[in-house]
Amino acid sequence: MSTRSEQVKALTAQLEQGVKDVFHSDNYLNFLRTMAKFHSYSVNNELLIHLQCPNASFVAGYTTWRDKFHRHVKAGEQGIRILAPAPYKCHEEVEDPITHEQVLRPITVMSYRTAVCFDYSQTEGEPLPELIHELTGDVSQYEDLLEAIRRISPVPIDFMAVPGQAYGYFSPSESKIAIQSGLSQVQTVKTALHELTHSLLHNKDVLKENQKDRRTIEIEAESTAFVVSSSLGLSVEEYSFPYVASWSSSQSVKELKSSLETIRQTSSHIIDQLQAEMRSIQMERSQEQIIVHQELPEHIQHQAHISL
């Protein structure tokens, strides 16, 4: 039986190769779909889930499935191995700044162990609640989503006639996002997400510290928009990354992982912020309806109760 360190080393080696492989053929789009489903996981674990179970939809440990979701892992199913933090405490010898004597100082060292989880498809039992709440197809949801994007954007969003073939752009010098007027609802949201990513990742202050070439900038923005769109249940069939393989071939594994981590962190931030703002907007609408109802004449309030 292999030791814990050997198991971690084997997973790490799998990750190194996985980073290179994910940028070829349809692997990249499929990996971004995995990222959309598991946006709170680390890039390493998203990659490990994707490599071992590309169609995973929801994963949890054996006891979590049993105790929390009342489902059981099917006999014979092989678990998905991921990395779990396993910090431990020890002491290091340092020099006391006053006495200049060597003393022991307690420290916490970050280490990792392998953990096993299982996908929903590998279990049976009580059904899970709907995993993804779709925000498409309803005008009020579209308006709420667009308002949520406005609220989390660090710069104003203007609708206007955008010159050329572009659907929109982010202007660092003007500190604004411009979106072509008259687009479909879905295209408007996707364009807004793409330009929102630019405003977060590729503003003057950020690029001053971390220079990136144009292709890297566009891949990060479009990949983030894909992940967020996919997590919201928006159609993503028309997304494509035709030059991602040639781009990745000129990048080191460290650089590729850095871009994946940027995409993961940014998409996770946007998804969490949008969900919070959507809840806030819906609560505001509920409060407005209560206030309007309370201000109606009594006989109209009575009729409203009857109609409900």
19-73, pLDDT tens digit by residue?
Answer: 888 887 678 988 999 999 898 889 999 999 999 998 898 999 999 999 999 999 9
Neighbouring C-beta atoms of residue 105, cutoff 10 Å: 11
What is the model's pLDDT at position 293?
54
| DSSP 8-class letter at 76 | T
List the structure tokens of 18.
């996985």
Contact 84, 61 (CB under 8 A): no
Among 89-93, 153-157, 218-222, the least confident range: 89-93
Summary mean pLDDT of the chain? 83
As a whole number of Å, the end-to-end CA separation of the chain is 65
Q: CA-CA distance, 63 to 115, in Å (whole number)?
A: 12
pLDDT at 118: 95
Adjacent-strand bridge partners of 105 = 92
Instruction: Determine the length of the chain.
Output: 308
In this prediction the pTM is: 0.77
How much is the average pLDDT of 131-141? 44
Mean pLDDT of 98-107: 82
Q: Decide if pLDDT at 304 tops 60.
A: no
**Which residue in the block uniquely carries the two structure tokens 């992982």?**
257
pLDDT score of 178 more than 90? yes
245 versus 140: which is more confidently predicted? 245
Residue 296 has pLDDT above 60, yes or no: no
pLDDT at 295: 60
Ranked by mean pLDDT, which of 136-140, 173-177, 246-250, 299-303 comes out on top?
A: 173-177
Beta carbons within 8 Å of 119's beta carbon, 6+ residues apart? 53, 55, 56, 57, 58, 59, 80
* Structure confidence by residue, pLDDT tens digits, 140-176: 488 889 999 999 999 999 999 998 888 999 998 889 9
Section 283-303 average pLDDT: 63
Dist CA 255 CA 87 (whole Å): 27
Percent of the chain with pLDDT over 70: 86
- What integer pLDDT is reported at residue 308 of this predicted model? 39
pLDDT at residue 18, rounded to an integer: 82
